[in-house]
Amino acid sequence: MKLFKSNKSAGLMASPYIAWALIFIVIPLCMVIYYGITSADGNLTIENIATIFKPGFFKALKRSVFLALISTFVCFILSYPLGMILSSMKLKKNAYIVTLFILPMWMNFLLRTLTWMTLLEKKGVINTIFEFMHLPTISIINTQGAIVLGMVYNFLPFMILPIYNSLNRIDENVINAARDLGADSLQTFWRITLPLSMPGILSGITMVFIPALTTFAISSMLGGSKILLIGNVIEQEFTQLYDWHLGSGLSIVLMIFIFINMIIENLADKGGVNK
Amino acid sequence: MKKKLLSTILTCTIIAASLCACGSEDKSSNGKLYVYNWGEYIDEDVITQFEEETGIDVIYDMFETNEIMFAKLAQDTSAYDVVCPSDYMVQKLIENDMLQELDKSHIPNSKNIGEQYYIQASDFDPGNKYSVPYCWGTVGILYNKTMINEPVDSWDILWDEKYKDQILMQDSVRDSMMVALLKNGYSLNSTNPDEIEIATQDLIKQKPLVQAYVVDQVRDKMIGGEAALGVIYSGEAIYTARENPDLEYIVPKEGTNVWIDSWAITKGSKNVENAEKWIDFMCRGDIALKNFEYITYSTPNDVAKENIEDEDIKNSKVAFPDLSTMNTEAYKYLGTETDRLYNNAWMEVKSADY
Amino acid sequence: MKKILERIYLAIILIFMYAPIFTLIVLSFNSSKSRAKWGGFTLKWYTQLLSDEAVASALFNTLAIAILSTIFATIIGTFTCIAMIGLSAKVRSILMGITNIPMINADIVTGISLMLLFRFLHIGSGFGTILLAHITFNIPFVMLSVMPRVKNINFYVYEAALDLGASRSYAFFKTILPDIVPGIVSGALMAFTMSLDDFIITYFTKGSGFETLSTLIYNEVKRGIQPEIYALSAIIFIVVLALLFISYRAPMSKAKDN
């Protein structure tokens, strides 16, 4: 530890970021909390947070949780086999294949969502092709299904990457050892591969669940503004109804969800280390 | 080697970036003007012409609904210099002390606006101190004749099960509530909680039939044949009929909202002089005409109307409706309490399951 | 058999991810404005796009913010990671905890919180506020990928260099920095990706008259999509592919050098 002359110089080097983190991470969050627990006239209140239990708001939250869970699940189901296939391919150039899955992200999230709008519309690309082939047309746009599709499409890379990374890190020898000890492939999977890839799975789940839970662009673009998610509600409070206190109160509710998520991930992380 | 090349490119980009940023600052010799207007509500050439004639650099932003505009200004009234709110929103802005009085002597062309529009506008802007009318019109139903084989004359058709998934509603509180209130025979300015509740329930009942709640997209979706019926502003009628002859606009017999969108200068405006120039420019006969021909929203500008060459349009009942033949009412700002009632009602509609 | 199934599955996922993008590219050559009709091949959307100042400035803003925020975040993040070594465990874990917040927190909450801050400080929104916001959410991505490298630094080499008479800075640049460079590069790449991809935080921190690509597209969508946007996505995709190709080739040639 002789990199620094003293603790002080390390502190000095870290100080710009400490200041940065205070100003741009900690204080802003405190402001959200402050707005969330006060009313327009400056009095303390829990009304803003309690609004979540009003029927309209609660419905939006329930719907968001439901759709986010489905999307996360679908992402997981799609990603895990993919991760296994990719890691079994023993790619020499990891970065290359990984980039292949990050690549669509460089196209910007809204362009990707826009794509599905174009595809799914009543007179959109898919229906035109179906009509041409004399197949029945689908009407999925402006439904919950369209929103789930949009979420899966957008957030899939967030699930693929951590799962692939954790699977890739599993020591070949451990699996071979299990095989040598007589485990069949199913047993090896349940007892070795799956537990060892748990950290990747959990971090994938958080990385998909949170944006899916809180999105407002996907639901307004693919849901025709008919399907209100909690993200839409918060966005409206800020951009249309001009009620920052209520908007912040609802954000606090979201933060509670995020916090729970964080604890779960932390617990899993520790569990992984102990093993 | 490649790394060096890459870093050189990167550095060049950054330097170019900072140069460009500085360059654009210098260009605006006569200052800037921040304009906040509705989407698809101006001929872009008019902006260019204004910039060329005055040397003012226009920063032009668009909003979708009055409410979005209000929230933006409430954050910071100096964010924009000139805005174009509708009647009730002008009133709300005035009551919240977010606009400044206009010096009409700096806006000589404001005399081009017809007297009757000033009279109408004094309902929401007493004495016409804060605003100058830009466009006006009604709200009605645009329908596709090939998809609908019955006469359309009532808001009730928007509740007809036959047209499930073929209906486009406006994604804005007042316009959607208006439809439901009028359908039930109430005033579109109703402050009665029971009436608002009935209207809300009606909108929830209607939700399964609605394809989407949209604002500016109604136009393109109707032209593209995505839907059969859409609630739309009268100004789009000429344009949509031109693009798709199957489309027809009607004002339902129960009545509708007659609105005026007006230019106003924000309280915090840092470029008042430029803002006045802008409003004056918009009131100029030739400019208003050019604008009208492009956006096809009814102009209150008498000089512009005189000079419309197309006699059909000049005498068109769609472009310049005779309000005495229909049952119209203008929106009023209903105060904070009722505002909240409407917002909660709309929230309930939007979050309802269907 | 299993191999074939695996390949098919891989292909399906890749088609799912890329087919929509290719559809957009095809549509960008469609002369009919309607998505349902093929009106013949045209390049007019591309020429219109090139003369569209709004798109050009949005593209420029997006790239400028992505590049600048990546540079700042990489510098700050890397220095902080190195400094962490010298900090007590307690301070370190607190700092790491705070750093994790923007990554785990919902974008909408981060965006709103920054908007509240900027309004409170009366900082006029625009390029500056978006840049600050992007640096803030990018630093954690850099730190996340640099930190593991820093933890594995072999200090004996560094000390040996000192013993042999190297100055501190010389020893640092010769022994420690090369070890953490891969982490810095992948962190910077991640930051760049995140900045390009962001919509929500930009949406809440942007001011009047300032658009990035994502906010511009969001507005366009609300008004009805113009085919120029398809042309734009086609161009972006091709550029991205080209970049991927370059980045794929570059390390290869470097490996050969070694």
> How confident is the model over A178-194, as pLDDT tens digits?
989 988 889 999 999 99
Return the number of other C-beta atoms located less than 10 Å from residue B182's C-beta: 24
Sign of CA dihedral A193, A194, A196, A200: positive
Here the ipTM equals 0.90
| pLDDT of B2 over the 70 cut | no
| pLDDT of B191 over the 70 cut | yes
Chains with ≥3 CB–CB distances under 8 Å to A: B, C
In a domain, C159, yes or no: yes
Q: CA nearest A5 in C: which residue?
A: C86
- Nearest Cβ partner for C209 among B2, B61, B221: B61
Cβ contact (<8 Å) for B71 and A122?
A: no
Please tell me the distance in Å from C249's CA to the nearest CA on chain B.
Answer: 10
State pLDDT tens for residues A62-102. Answer: 999 999 999 999 999 999 999 999 888 876 666 677 778 87
Q: Which residues contact A140 (CB under 8 A, 6 or more apart)?
A: A120, A146, A149
Query: Looking at the structure, do residues C219 and C91 belong to the same domain, yes or no?
Result: yes
How many helices (H) and strands (E) chain A has is answered by 15, 0
Please tell me the distance in Å from B52's CA to the nearest CA on chain A.
Answer: 33
| C203 reaches B (C-beta below 8 A) | no
Residue of C119, C131, C208 to mutate, interface with B, max B Cβ within 10 Å:
C208
- Nearest Cβ partner for A239 among B68, B165, B211: B68
What local confidence, expressed as pLDDT, does residue A269 receive? Answer: 65
Tell me the mean pLDDT in the region B205-222.
93
Query: Looking at the structure, do residues C18 and C114 belong to the same domain, yes or no?
Result: no
| pLDDT of B12 over the 60 cut | no
| B224 reaches A (C-beta below 8 A) | yes
The model's pTM? 0.91
What local confidence, expressed as pLDDT, does residue B24 receive? Answer: 45
In terms of Cα–Cα distance, which of A48, A28, A68 is closest to A214?
Answer: A68
In a domain, C211, yes or no: yes
What local confidence, expressed as pLDDT, does residue A112 receive? Answer: 87
What local confidence, expressed as pLDDT, does residue B53 receive? Answer: 95
Domain annotation for chain B: domains and CATH numbers: 8-136+260-320 (3.40.190.10), 137-257+324-351 (3.40.190.10)
Residue of B66, B67, B347 to mutate, interface with A, max A Cβ within 10 Å:
B347
Query: Looking at the structure, do residues C98 and C167 belong to the same domain, yes or no?
Result: yes
Query: Looking at the structure, do residues C122 and C90 belong to the same domain, yes or no?
Result: yes
Tell me the mean pLDDT in the region B122-127.
94
What local confidence, expressed as pLDDT, does residue A93 receive? Answer: 63
How many helices (H) and strands (E) chain B has is answered by 14, 11
| pLDDT of B340 over the 80 cut | yes
What local confidence, expressed as pLDDT, does residue B293 receive? Answer: 92
CA separation for the pair B261, B278 (Å, rounded): 15
CA separation for the pair C237, C231 (Å, rounded): 10
In a domain, C48, yes or no: no
Q: Which residues contact C186 (CB under 8 A, 6 or more apart)?
A: C145
Q: CA nearest B166 in A: which residue?
A: A122
In a domain, C25, yes or no: yes
CA separation for the pair A106, B215 (Å, rounded): 29
Chains with ≥3 CB–CB distances under 8 Å to C: A, B
Contact A105, C18 (CB under 8 A): no
| B22 reaches C (C-beta below 8 A) | no
State pLDDT tens for residues A101-130. Answer: 878 877 888 888 988 988 998 888 888 889
Query: Looking at the structure, do residues C99 and C2 belong to the same domain, yes or no?
Result: no
Please tell me the distance in Å from B102's CA to the nearest CA on chain C.
Answer: 23
| pLDDT of B102 over the 50 cut | yes
Query: Looking at the structure, do residues C34 and C160 belong to the same domain, yes or no?
Result: no
Cβ contact (<8 Å) for C199 and A95?
A: no
In a domain, C47, yes or no: no
Q: Where are the alpha helices (DSSP H) in chain C?
A: 2-27, 44-50, 53-85, 89-104, 107-120, 127-151, 155-163, 168-171, 177-197, 200-205, 213-223, 227-257
Cβ contact (<8 Å) for C248 and A93?
A: yes
In terms of Cα–Cα distance, which of A86, A72, A211, A218 is closest to A141?
Answer: A218
State pLDDT tens for residues A12-30. Answer: 889 999 999 999 999 999 9
Please tell me the distance in Å from A157's CA to the nearest CA on chain C.
Answer: 10
Count: domains in chain C: 2
In a domain, C36, yes or no: yes
Sign of CA dihedral A54, A55, A60, A64: positive
The average confidence (pLDDT) of chain A is 89
Query: For the domain that residue C64 is a member of, what is the CATH number?
Result: 1.10.3720.10
State pLDDT tens for residues B228-282. Answer: 999 999 999 989 999 999 999 999 999 999 999 999 999 999 999 999 999 999 9
Cβ contact (<8 Å) for A254 and C98?
A: no
Please tell me the distance in Å from C201's CA to the nearest CA on chain B.
Answer: 16
Domain that holds residue C202: 53-257
In a domain, C228, yes or no: yes
CA separation for the pair B133, B298 (Å, rounded): 11
What local confidence, expressed as pLDDT, does residue A270 receive? Answer: 63
Query: Looking at the structure, do residues C17 and C128 belong to the same domain, yes or no?
Result: no
From residue A163, give the alpha-carbon distance in Å to each of A73, A113, A184, B300: 14, 24, 23, 63
| pLDDT of B339 over the 90 cut | yes
Cβ contact (<8 Å) for B351 and A225?
A: no
What local confidence, expressed as pLDDT, does residue C254 receive? Answer: 45
From residue C161, give the alpha-carbon distance in Å to each of B10, B89, C86, C172: 33, 72, 19, 9
State pLDDT tens for residues A207-259. Answer: 999 999 999 999 999 999 999 999 999 999 999 999 999 999 999 999 998 88
State pLDDT tens for residues B22-79. Answer: 444 444 468 999 999 999 899 999 999 999 999 999 999 999 999 999 999 998 899 9
In a domain, C186, yes or no: yes
Q: Which residues contact C239 (CB under 8 A, 6 or more apart)?
A: none
Query: Looking at the structure, do residues C59 and C92 belong to the same domain, yes or no?
Result: yes
Return the number of other C-beta atoms located less than 10 Å from residue B115's C-beta: 10
Query: Looking at the structure, do residues C14 and C129 belong to the same domain, yes or no?
Result: no
CA atoms within 13 A on the CB side of C190: 25
The average confidence (pLDDT) of chain C is 88
Query: Looking at the structure, do residues C120 and C226 belong to the same domain, yes or no?
Result: yes
Q: C47 is written with which tokens?
A: 């020429």
CA separation for the pair B348, A57 (Å, rounded): 8
| pLDDT of A275 over the 50 cut | no
What local confidence, expressed as pLDDT, does residue A260 receive? Answer: 87
Please tell me the distance in Å from A30's CA to the nearest CA on chain B.
Answer: 19
Query: Looking at the structure, do residues C64 and C134 belong to the same domain, yes or no?
Result: yes
Report chain C (258 residues): mean pLDDT per 10 consecutive residues. 90 92 90 79 92 90 96 95 88 90 92 95 89 96 91 87 89 88 91 92 91 91 84 87 74 44
Cβ contact (<8 Å) for B212 and A55?
A: no
What local confidence, expressed as pLDDT, does residue B104 receive? Answer: 95
Query: Looking at the structure, do residues C68 and C28 belong to the same domain, yes or no?
Result: no
